[in-house]
Each structure stands twice: as structure tokens, then as C-alpha cells.
Amino acid sequence: MINQLRVPVNSDSDIVIARQKGRALAEQLGFSSSQLTLIATAISELTRNIVYYAKCGEVILQRDDNGARPGIVVIARDEGPGIEDIERALQKGYSTSGGLGLGLPGVRRIMDEFQIDSALGRGTTVRVKKWKL
């Protein structure tokens, strides 16, 4: 069984690749079909943020049996411009790129754990986790 996968993100078609790989890994880990959809959707949003704001980066998908509850972890990492105001970026409906939206509040809602780390000029790392029910 594969425990970790790295998906390089350079263009818009990598969004589809990342979420398909994430869904396949989550399926191997035994997630239910409605959870698979949530995980794939979250990956889609996070990968799109990389493409639109940082141009390139990577998505790491891994099985995680550590911590209080086992599940799947998705890390979206880029070395783009970073987010100036994280608090605001996590508010519903906030967007800096003409109505596209960062999708971060939505991702936070559909995943069980959510961490964001961003520094202006140095990039952004988002780590999310979905627990297995």
C-alpha cells in the first residue's frame, strides 16, 4: 500500500490529477463514498489556490495513523506571494482574485483538521486532515 504521494503542481490540469490521486489513496484507506467526495473537493480547492496564486507548488497526500484519529492528510505547499491577512482569507466569501475566492473557509468546513502557515513573499502551506469515521 502506498503511504505517501507527491503531486507537482504547475498548471490547471494538475488540479484534476491531484484530486484523482487523493481520492484513489483515500479509497485504499477505506473512506466512505461521501467522504471521498469531500476529500477530493478539498484537494481541488487547495490545488487551485496554488495554480492561481503561486503558479507552482506541490501537493502531498499521505496516510496518517498518528494523532488521536487515523485518516488522510493533504498538504498543499507553494513558494508564492503568501497571504497577507490569514484571518480575512478564512472568512466566508473573501477573495482577492476577482470573484474566484480562496475556497479556504469551505475547505476548513469540510475537513476535520485545518492548519495554515503563510508568510508574505515566502509562500503558503496548508495542511488538512480528514478522519476516518
Partner 1 sequence: MAVPILKQGQYLIATIQSALSDVDLTHLQDALVGQVGKLRSRGVIVDVTALDVMDSYASRTLRDLAHMIRLRGAETVIVGIQPEVAFSMVQLGLTLEGVSTALDLEEALLHLGQKTKRPQQRDKPS
- Tell me the angle at which helices 13-28 and 33-49 cross, rounded to the nearest 10 degrees: 150
Q: How far is the CB of 19 from partner 1 (least distance, A)?
A: 6
Task: Mention every residue, 6+ apart, whose C-beta is less than 8 A from residue 107.
Answer: 42, 45, 46, 114, 126, 128
The answer to whether 57 contacts partner 1 (rule: CB under 8 A) is: no
Q: One symbol per residue from 97 to 116: x for binding partner 1 (CB under 8 A), - otherwise; what is it?
A: --xxx-x--x--xx------
Q: How far is the CB of 31 from partner 1 (least distance, A)?
A: 11
Residue with cell 480528514: 130
Residue closer to partner 1 (CB basis): 73 or 107: 107
3-state secondary structure of 130: strand
Q: How far is the CB of 121 from partner 1 (least distance, A)?
A: 26
Task: Mention every residue, 6+ apart, whose C-beta is less than 8 A from residue 3.
Answer: 62, 63
Looking at the chain, list the stretches that DSSP marks H as alpha helix, in order from N- to C-terminal side: 13-28, 33-49, 86-89, 104-110
The answer to whether 66 contacts partner 1 (rule: CB under 8 A) is: no
The answer to whether 34 contacts partner 1 (rule: CB under 8 A) is: yes
> Applying CB under 8 A, which part among 33-41, 56-64, 75-83, 125-133 lies near partner 1?
33-41
Nearest to 108 by CA among 76, 79, 78: 76
The answer to whether 48 contacts partner 1 (rule: CB under 8 A) is: yes
Provide the binding-site residues for partner 1, judged by CB under 8 A. Answer: 12-13, 15-16, 19-20, 23, 33-34, 36-38, 40-41, 44-45, 48, 92, 99-101, 103, 106, 109-110
